[in-house]
Amino acid sequence: MNTDIKNLEPQVIWSNFAKLNAVPRASKKEDEVIQFMMDFGQNLGLETLKDKAGNVIIKKPATQGMENRKTTVLQSHLDMVHQKNNDTEFDFETQGINMYVDGDWVKADGTTLGADNGLGVATIMAILESNDIPHPPLEALFTIDEETGMTGAKELDDSILDGEILLNLDTEEDDEIGIGCAGGVDISATRFYIEESVPENSSAYKIIVNGLNGGHSGMDIIKGLGNANKLMNRLLFSAYEQVHSRVASIQGGGLRNAIPRESVAVLIVENKHKNELFSTIEKISEAIKTEYASLEPNLNISISECETPKKVMSSDVQDAFLKSIYAAHNGVYRMSPDIDGLVETSNNIAKISVDNGKIEVLCLTRSSVESTKDDLANSLRSAFDLAGFQVELSGDYPGWAPNPDSDILKVVDQIYKTQNNEQAHVAACHAGLECGILGSHYPNMDMISFGPTIRGAHSPDERASISSTQKFWKLTLEVLKQIPLK
């Protein structure tokens, strides 16, 4: 299956991508891929460094005649989002990604593909190992932990790079040149509760919400897709109001940067209210499916009897918890008043876990405006505070302020227009690129971002366009030729 990938054009990218995808590389578990990249650079005889954070830097001298060009940093992140379908048996810690070709797309078998940002990494690898690609002095920067905190970028050694230009290869539309992005902050709400015995003459029922699209909690938030945690809460809230059901457990969503696709809850209802429970769930389910018919055609909501647990959440805590999730904002909070079509501020209620006397709610708030990010974070904190949660704000990182007068932007923009006979879309995005953080370390570095077309990032539907990768490669090679003089 993966052998077919290596034969795609450009082979130098897809072959390296296949090698990279054979290495487990979850965020915060990058030891193997760090060593893989260290070995790669050293085997090429290039200067290969690892800083205290675990970022890998590989330096390559300019090709003949390009020595007087500005030193250029090629940057991508090593980690990938690990998500899989519930019915897919796969161990991310030991297995490589199983890939296959479907028309113009490379996909993975029931898991995320890792094209975000593996195609960027593979592209840089192809340039580093080449003998015939003209390029200026290069510094390849492979950062770690981009997806769950950007700690690699945050802890980057301030003196390890000499580059004046940075090309971030982490944009997911091949007609887009990125010049700005959103910052973010993690919001974690935790509450402990005393479990109570299951009421007599009661039975347990499992509610499942699945079949949602999911996706990138930044780039896809504008689509208004279903959030499994919010939909589940709507069902549980209605059941609680109608039949005073009691929550035993909830497991919904996973990573902060992925829109949750699935949620499973177990609740307890007195036997005399069974029919009313099923009627309530059916009524709300039909309403939800009607609302999301065009956006979420595969949405599934089911209820079935299950083994009765021993404990449930106390009624007063449950009341406060369900109301807090209802009150907590999810989705787009504010559109940019200055850039048409750009989400300025949003929140993703990414994970809800209820079990063994503990409630945990994890969110990721994004914004390109610091004051609005703080405003939404305070709104969420207030909703959870009022419900008795302990709330922690962490992992704060800045946005990347657009520079429309960037010199390297003018170069790439002109090359794109020449190659494609159309204008590129120069834009800021609602994702959390590392450029803002890297700019805090190197404030005079001129930065842009571009990449091949990737769809469904952060979900098992992730796929990468083959033709777009060819287009991206052609652009990258010409950009390296035209890096400005020192």
In this predicted structure, the answer to whether residue 419 has a pLDDT above a threshold of 80 is: yes
Residue 200 DSSP class: S
The angle at the Cα of 228, spanning 256 to 294, to the nearest 5 degrees, equals: 115
Instruction: Indicate left, alpha or beta for 306 from its phi (over 0: left) and psi (-120 to 50: alpha).
Output: beta
- Classify residue 486: in a domain, yes or no: no
Task: Give the residue from 371, 397, 423 where a domain finishes.
Answer: 397
In this predicted structure, the answer to whether residue 406 has a pLDDT above a threshold of 90 is: yes
Whether residues 371 and 424 share a domain: the answer is no
Provide, rounded to the nearest whole percent, the portion of the chain with pLDDT above 90.
93
In this predicted structure, the answer to whether residue 2 has a pLDDT above a threshold of 90 is: no
Whether residues 276 and 377 share a domain: the answer is yes
Provide, rounded to the nearest whole percent, the portion of the chain with pLDDT above 70.
100
Question: What CATH number did the domain enclosing 153 receive?
Answer: 3.40.630.10
The secondary structure of 108-161, three-state, reads: ECCECCCHHHHHHHHHHHHHHCCCCCCCCCEEEEEECCCCCCCHHHHCCCCCCC
Structure tokens at 402: 């657009």
Q: Give the pLDDT confidence of 24-61 residue by residue, as tens digits.
A: 999 999 999 999 999 999 999 999 999 999 999 999 99
Give the DSSP letter string of 241-308: HHH--EEEEEEEE--TTEE---EEEEEEEEGGGHHHHHHHHHHHHHHHHHHTTTT-TT-EEEEEEE--
Query: Which residues share a beta bridge with 131?
Result: none
Whether residues 196 and 306 share a domain: the answer is yes
User: Phi, psi at residue 388, to the nearest 5°?
Assistant: 85, 15
- State residue 36's pLDDT score: 98
Task: Give the residue from 363, 397, 431 where a domain finishes.
Answer: 397
Residue ranges making up the domain that contains 52 = 2-181+400-481
In this predicted structure, the answer to whether residue 3 has a pLDDT above a threshold of 80 is: no
- Classify residue 453: in a domain, yes or no: yes
Whether residues 357 and 475 share a domain: the answer is no
Task: Give the residue from 351, 370, 397 where a domain finishes.
Answer: 397
- State residue 387's pLDDT score: 97
Whether residues 72 and 142 share a domain: the answer is yes
In this predicted structure, the answer to whether residue 1 has a pLDDT above a threshold of 60 is: no
Whether residues 155 and 197 share a domain: the answer is no
Whether residues 205 and 246 share a domain: the answer is yes
Question: What CATH number did the domain enclosing 224 receive?
Answer: 3.30.70.360
Whether residues 107 and 12 share a domain: the answer is yes
Q: Which active-site residues does the annotation give?
A: 79, 146
Per-residue confidence at 431, pLDDT binned at 50, 70, 90?
Answer: confident
Query: CA nearest 117: which of 58, 33, 53, 44?
Result: 33
Give the Cα separation of 399 and 401 in Å (integer): 6
- Classify residue 75: in a domain, yes or no: yes
Whether residues 290 and 437 share a domain: the answer is no
In this predicted structure, the answer to whether residue 139 has a pLDDT above a threshold of 80 is: yes
Whether residues 35 and 90 share a domain: the answer is yes
Q: Give the pLDDT confidence of 321-349 residue by residue, as tens digits.
A: 999 999 999 999 999 998 889 999 999 99
- State residue 132's pLDDT score: 96
Whether residues 220 and 290 share a domain: the answer is yes
Split into its structural domains, the chain has a count of 2
pTM surpassing 0.95? no
Other C-beta atoms closer than 10 Å to the C-beta of 276 total: 15
Span 213-219, average pLDDT = 93
Whether residues 165 and 196 share a domain: the answer is no
Q: CA quadruple 115, 119, 120, 121: dihedral positive or negative?
A: positive
In this predicted structure, the answer to whether residue 86 has a pLDDT above a threshold of 90 is: no
